Amino acid sequence: MKTIVTRLIVLLLAPLAAMHGAGPPADPDRKPSFSWERVPRYMHVRKDTGFTAEEIRYLASFPLVTLEKFTGTAEFGTTEAGTLAAARAIRAINPKTKVLYYRNVIVHYGGYAANESLANVPGAFLVGRDGSDNLVRGRVQAYDLTDAKVRDWWIASAMRVCADPAIDGLFLDGNVKVLEPEYLLGDIGKAKKAGVLDGYTAMMGETRRMLGPDKLMLANVLRARFPDLGMSRLRAFDGSYMEGFEAAVGGVALKDYLAKGIAAFQEAARQGFVIAFTAGLGEESLETGKANEERTDEIRKSLTPDGVANLRFQYLLALFLICAERHSYFCVHDGYDAKKSQVWMTHPPEFDRPLGAPEGPAARAGHVYTREFAHASVRLNVETQTAKIDWR
């Protein structure tokens, strides 16, 4: 009876919450399962052909999975069809796995069946002062979110896939491109940039309303680059994906930027938001395209040698454990393409070690953080970028 009453309250309050730019009260039923028994994990992946039976079983072992753009396009023809095929197969093995459908809120990617109907919306893309509409990284189009018809198309195309019971919600990417004040400002001007932000805000509120209380919205929105760490925008969603943790901007020293990122993760996690912490094992690449992009995307070079990669894995895992709370999940990778990855379907021994619940929040002394779990002690130094985890 309590669950039924809770869900009725959520349904009644959803329209009002959407008007104020916030999601409905968090419904525990739509959050992924969680346990401190082992390191809680997340998977973010794409594969343009179908996943094998072994790969599907692997994906079904995660509580939370995002199927990236271009999933299944070579075999099923479109991202929508490929995503649904994979999601249905995963859910057939483990109905508890939450599967998210990837949509970028501003960048126009190919491979989607919905793109065909966008041709019926004239002027759907932003155009720079030089007349070019390839504004993202100098080669990809961006949606003109000031146009209500574009927003309606985006929402309708997302809803068609999310209506399938195998899809548990949306993974919303590209948010930082909209929220970063300088991004595309030189191309489209101040007034248009402000209009895009307003359109985005309206689109996210309407998407939440249309999805209803049962579907997740996980957005790439928390960043140390923002004065409020992205917290004000996070409230429109169930949680945030976290990337770009080490992409210091604005002249901030990396150690201080990392400390801000940790603070963002900790604050959001303690408030009950879902956090999908994702970081690359390879060396950072600064080749992000146009100069004004200001490192909005995390781009990594190929995987570093095994010894270095293992040290980095330990560092990233320690960073996660310093911040994690219930419904925080860990993912490290060398790129999202399963066919190119050297770590796809690998299983480090740390994932089999008993972890146990934390004994409290992390302690901080300067740039050194420590935290105790039932079966592990964690020490992290963000100044030297070193860490140690003692398992017991």
Enclosing H/E stretch for 99: strand 98-104
Q: What is the pLDDT of residue 238?
A: 96
Q: What is the pLDDT of residues 246-279, one digit of tens each?
A: 888 888 899 999 999 999 999 999 999 999 999 8
Q: What is the pLDDT of residue 251?
A: 86
Q: What is the pLDDT of residue 310?
A: 84
pTM of the model: 0.90
Q: What is the pLDDT of residue 20?
A: 37
Sorted by sequence, the CB contacts under 8 Å of residue 46 that are 6+ apart come out as: 67, 68, 69, 70, 71, 102, 336, 337, 338
Average pLDDT for residues 303-322, to the nearest whole number? 84
More confident residue, 75 or 20: 75
Q: What is the pLDDT of residue 67?
A: 98
Q: What is the pLDDT of residue 301?
A: 58
Q: What is the pLDDT of residue 2?
A: 37
Average pLDDT for residues 329-346, to the nearest whole number? 92
Q: How confident is the model at residue 19 (pLDDT cuts 50, 70, 90)?
A: very low
Sorted by where each begins, the domain ranges of the chain are: 2-353
Q: What is the pLDDT of residues 142-186, one digit of tens each?
A: 999 999 999 999 999 999 999 999 999 999 999 999 999 999 999
Q: How confident is the model at residue 28 (pLDDT cuts 50, 70, 90)?
A: confident
Question: Mean pLDDT over all residues of the chain?
Answer: 89
Average pLDDT for residues 3-26, to the nearest whole number? 41
Lowest mean pLDDT among 77-86, 336-345, 347-356: 336-345
Cα dihedral 122, 124, 129, 131 in deg (nearest 10): -50
For residues 115-137, one letter each, b for 16 or more C-beta atoms within 10 angstroms of the residue's C-beta and e for the rest, the string is: beebeeeeebbbbbeeeebebbe
The residue type found at 99 is: V
Lowest mean pLDDT among 18-32, 53-67, 103-117, 306-320: 18-32
Enclosing H/E stretch for 265: helix 254-270
Sign of the dihedral through C-alpha 107, 112, 171, 354: negative
Residue 6 pLDDT more than 70?
no
CATH architecture assigned to 2-353: Alpha-Beta Barrel (3.20)
More confident residue, 187 or 19: 187
Cα distances (angstroms) measured from residue 337 to each of 47, 74, 175, 203, 231: 6, 13, 22, 29, 30
Q: What is the pLDDT of residue 15?
A: 39
Q: CA 128 to CA 131: how far, in whole Å?
A: 5
Percentage of the chain lying above the pLDDT 90 cut: 79
Sorted by sequence, the CB contacts under 8 Å of residue 116 that are 6+ apart come out as: none
Q: What is the pLDDT of residues 280-296, one digit of tens each?
A: 886 665 544 444 345 54
Q: How confident is the model at residue 335 (pLDDT cuts 50, 70, 90)?
A: confident
Cα distances (angstroms) measured from residue 72 to each of 196, 336, 378: 31, 14, 39
Q: What is the pLDDT of residue 286?
A: 52
> Sheet holding 376-381: strands in order across?
363-365, 368-373, 376-381, 386-391
Enclosing H/E stretch for 173: strand 169-173
Sorted by sequence, the CB contacts under 8 Å of residue 122 that are 6+ apart come out as: none
Residue 243 pLDDT more than 90?
no
Contact 314, 351 (CB under 8 A): no
Q: What is the pLDDT of residue 299?
A: 54
